[in-house]
Amino acid sequence: MSFSGLRGVRGTKLQLLITLACSSGFLLFGYDQGVFSGVIESPFFLSVFNDPDSGLLGTVSAIYDVGAAFGAILCMIVGNYLGRRRVIMLGCVIAIVGAILQASSRHMSQLIVGRIIAGFGVGLLTSTIGIWQAETSEAHNRGALMSVELTLCAIGLLLAQWINYGYGTDNTAKAFEFPLYFQIVFLFGCLVLVPFLPESPRWLVGRGKMDQARDMLVWLNKEEISTSDPKITKTLEEMEEIALLEEISGWEWFRSLFRSGPTQNGKRVGMACAINSFQQLSGVNSITYYVPTLLTTFIGVSRSDSLWIGGLTSVVSLSFSLVPIFSIDRFGRLPFMISGAVIQAISFFSIAGLYANLPEEGTSAAKSYGIAIVSFIFLYFAIFSATWLGPSWMYSAEILPLKGRTHGMGLAVVFYWMFNFLIVMITPTALENISWKFYVILGVFNAVFVPILWFFVETKGKTLEELDIYFAERYHGGRELHDVELAIQNRHGNKPEINQVEFEASEKSESTK
């Protein structure tokens, strides 16, 4: 799949188009997080599918996450072979098939199959989109561009919740079909745009396609320069150095995920998996999926009112998701997530305390307590959207090594979707059986994240190759790195040395801020 430019678009404009394509995928991701909860409450659905019980509905909703986990596993297997663009297009096609099967279904078996297939496609997308964005962005604005994607995710959730509200009184098939068919709009936009955009130069280097990688670097550079420019040559040689350092062949890549090696893959994959698990254990989907129920429980509103008040959570999410766009590249990923975890823990502990002491139902005091609980739910949504929604996804893509990036991200996304499945499945049962204590557990999870994150490595302002070198320098003093540098010097002639001293100094400077 060659790339010859999109009507002369290059540099920053080209990176923005890549961001737009990636955002379409995350727009679908956010939309899917909220749309099904409204669809399964429509009168048409309840009539055609014989008013299924809550257990079956929970399974049908959560089976999507299982499909997404299997999509991530497939990405681990074929992602490095197909490349970033092909995997994204494959994910779009599969998700479109899933959307059609869901919207046209009149039997539960077809609906379940459609949910699994749609999830499978989204699993491919979420495993690849962040990597493609990270690998085609520059270090100084990579965080901002990736934050834009997750803002679109928040817009997707907003669309889903307000479309559900709009069809809240509709008894026809349209209330079931339109929200599900509407997914195709996002997928089609991504599918049409991606073939006209450049492949990741880092993936091309990893596959040994050096000339194509050089061309991609020229197109992505914000300045109009030639393929022989020293800046391009230096960047390409740095990528080649890391590719040689991470030389992995055949099924050896799977073993490399769980051991150190020259670039300490095991530690880095562990960080990516931990961040994705933390994001779900923070409790976001225990709120997202059940906001209408919580509103009805705590402040006694009608179903119609619970839908529009619940829709306000997506407005809050969208508003606060804009914060990292303007500040994440200045302050870094870890400060955002650490501060967010602290406030999220406080929010859940406050909800638990109020819920445990809830006055007798029907009294004015009970309603006041309920309003206070809902206020902390809104606070949680605001903080999560500002500090975890974007930074957690970008951190996983950034921290992983070049050749293990697809495999590691696939594994991290498997963790994400399985913990998503777990939280969605257990929340109703937990609230029924242990009541307010469930929110104590979520608060403890968030509190525990804080000391763990202190040991993670900050990624802001560093190229992906600098991060590779950072870890390589800590493996036997960087002996393998030195051997690879000598090999490349012999192949290409003298090469400017990578100033590791300056990198170490910048790391120490950031740790003291």
- Report the candidate in 272, 95, 262 with the shortest Cα–Cα distance to residue 190: 95
The answer for residues whose C-beta is within 8 angstroms of residue 106's C-beta and 6 or more apart is: 48
401 and 472 Cβ atoms separated by less than 8 Å: no
305 and 384 Cβ atoms separated by less than 8 Å: no
Rg (C-alpha) for the chain, rounded Å, is 24
15 and 144 Cβ atoms separated by less than 8 Å: no
pLDDT at residue 222, as a whole number: 76
pLDDT at 89 over 80: yes
Cβ-count burial 98-128 (b if 16+ within 10 Å, e if not):
bbbbbbebeeeeebbbbbbbbbbbbbbbbbb
In the chain, the amino acid numbered 171 is: N
pLDDT at 13 over 80: yes
pLDDT at 259 over 80: no
pLDDT at residue 292, as a whole number: 67
Identify the three-state secondary structure at position 403: coil
pLDDT digits (tens, 9 = 90+) for 383-395: 999 999 999 999 9
* Rounded distance between C-alpha atoms, residue 251 and residue 181, angstroms: 39
Task: Pull the structure tokens for residue 340.
Answer: 């967010």
307 and 38 Cβ atoms separated by less than 8 Å: yes
Residue 485 included in any domain: no
Instruction: Compute how many other C-beta atoms are within 10 angstroms of the C-beta atom of residue 141.
Output: 17
pLDDT at 474 over 70: yes
325 and 151 Cβ atoms separated by less than 8 Å: yes
Q: How confident is the model at residue 234 (pLDDT cuts 50, 70, 90)?
A: confident
Task: Pull the structure tokens for residue 84.
Answer: 């970033």
Q: What is the number of domains present in the chain?
A: 1
* Rounded distance between C-alpha atoms, residue 253 and residue 292, angstroms: 45
- DSSP bridge partners of 9: 6
Residue 508 included in any domain: no
Range of the domain at 312: 11-203+259-453
Instruction: Compute how many other C-beta atoms are within 10 angstroms of the C-beta atom of residue 427.
Output: 21
Residue 32 sits in a domain whose CATH number is: 1.20.1250.20
Identify the three-state secondary structure at position 477: helix
Q: Among 57-61, 159-163, 204-208, 283-287, where is mean pLDDT lowest? A: 57-61
Q: What angle do CA 370, 374, 380 make, to 5 degrees?
A: 145
75 and 406 Cβ atoms separated by less than 8 Å: yes
Region for residue 261 given its phi and psi (left: phi exceeds 0; alpha: psi -120 to 50; beta: otherwise):
left
Identify the three-state secondary structure at position 425: helix
Residue 420 included in any domain: yes
Q: Quick one: average pLDDT of 59-73?
A: 90
Q: How confident is the model at residue 29 (pLDDT cuts 50, 70, 90)?
A: confident
* Cα–Cα distance list, 506 to 19, 137, 496, 501, 502 (Å): 28, 21, 19, 9, 6
pLDDT at residue 303, as a whole number: 62
Give the DSSP H/E element, type plus range, for residue 196: none
pLDDT digits (tens, 9 = 90+) for 449-470: 999 999 999 999 999 988 888 8
* Rounded distance between C-alpha atoms, residue 472 and residue 344, angstroms: 35
Q: Quote the mean pLDDT of the chain.
A: 85
156 and 31 Cβ atoms separated by less than 8 Å: yes
pLDDT at residue 495, as a whole number: 47
**Residue 318 half-sphere exposure toward CB, CA atoms < 13 A:** 17
**One-character DSSP codes across 76-136:** HHHHHHH-HHHHHHHHHHHHHHHHHHHHH--SHHHHHHHHHHHHHHHHHHHHHHHHHHHHT
More reliable by pLDDT, 313 or 249: 313
pLDDT at residue 513, as a whole number: 45
Q: Please state the pTM of the whole predicted model.
A: 0.86
Task: Pull the structure tokens for residue 173.
Answer: 């098939």
Q: What angle do CA 44, 49, 52 make, to 5 degrees?
A: 110
Residue 270 included in any domain: yes
pLDDT digits (tens, 9 = 90+) for 400-437: 988 788 889 999 999 999 998 888 778 878 888 888 99
Q: Quick one: average pLDDT of 333-352?
A: 96
Residue 232 included in any domain: no
- Report the candidate in 463, 24, 74, 481 with the shortest Cα–Cα distance to residue 236: 463
pLDDT at 249 over 70: no
Residue 472 included in any domain: no
Residue 31 included in any domain: yes
Residue 315 included in any domain: yes
pLDDT at residue 42, as a whole number: 83
Residue 213, exposed/middle/buried by CB under 10 A (0-12, 13-18, 19+)?
A: buried
Identify the three-state secondary structure at position 170: coil
* Cα–Cα distance list, 403 to 70, 79, 87, 90, 490 (Å): 21, 11, 16, 21, 23
Identify the three-state secondary structure at position 6: strand
* Rounded distance between C-alpha atoms, residue 425 and residue 118, angstroms: 19
More reliable by pLDDT, 349 or 310: 349
